[in-house]
Amino acid sequence: MTEETKGRWIPLESNPETFNFWATKAGLVASQARFVDIYGLDEELLAYVPKPVKAVVLLFPIDDEGEARRKEEDGRIAREGQPKIDPSIFWLKQTISNACGTIGLIHSLVNSDVVFAPTSPLQQFVFQCQDKTPEERAEILATTNLFTDIHAESANTGQSAPNVDTDLHFTCFVQAPDADIRKAARGEDLSEDVKGDKVSSGMRLIELDGRRAGPVDQGECKDLLTDVANFVKARYLSSSTSVFFSLMALTTAPEE
């Protein structure tokens, strides 16, 4: 990476070929999981996505309305907190321009129960990031030449010419246990207001975006694919006329 491109990567193209290439290079055991296209958000089209789905990656256009909504949500989180967020969720801050594809890949893979080679780059990265802050994790990513190379190779697998000037951004959705359930499983005491019937027995829909202040709890999650589809329709598509949206699912279903 030259001084001119330092801190600014070529954007990844939103297609399974590119994401699967990156994941395999980073150490994913290819027979265990893969990314596939989500062709639409209607129930009939969602039915074609192989199950189970472990993560969903969304590419969306950045616009003024979305940015205002993001700032409002971040302000609410700063005031009220997110008591149901599972503290074991792996998240890192995005400090490299156009690295949102790689960060979306890391967030989706590390927060899923997919299999990596023990000495793979991603497994080593997770090991290095233990007990590190999101900003320190970002620095490790930025200074790991192997990840820079994997990203560059992956960007060149796309079907269109790379463009370093883009207003498109990747975010990732996973599901995680309600923090109260995690506490109960460890035998920890719960406060009076979350005991008994007030303790959720389900999962949470977690959005992982490196531009945010941290993981964002987007509510209860009963079915990851369906809940992400409903969220994207309500949050993104309802207020946009852009055609520059795409979604991919990380699935552990075997290829037919």
Active site residue 129: no
For residues 33 and 54, what is the distance between their CA atoms, to the nearest angstrom? 9
3-state SS record for 93-109: CCCCECCHHHHHHHHHH
Residue type, 93: K
Answer yes or no: are the C-beta atoms of 206 and 219 closer than 8 Å. Answer: no
Active site residue 151: no
Answer yes or no: are the C-beta atoms of 179 and 188 closer than 8 Å. Answer: no
The residue from 107, 169, 172, 221 that is catalytic is: 169
Beta bridge partners of 61: 168
User: Which residues are catalytically annotated?
Assistant: 100, 169
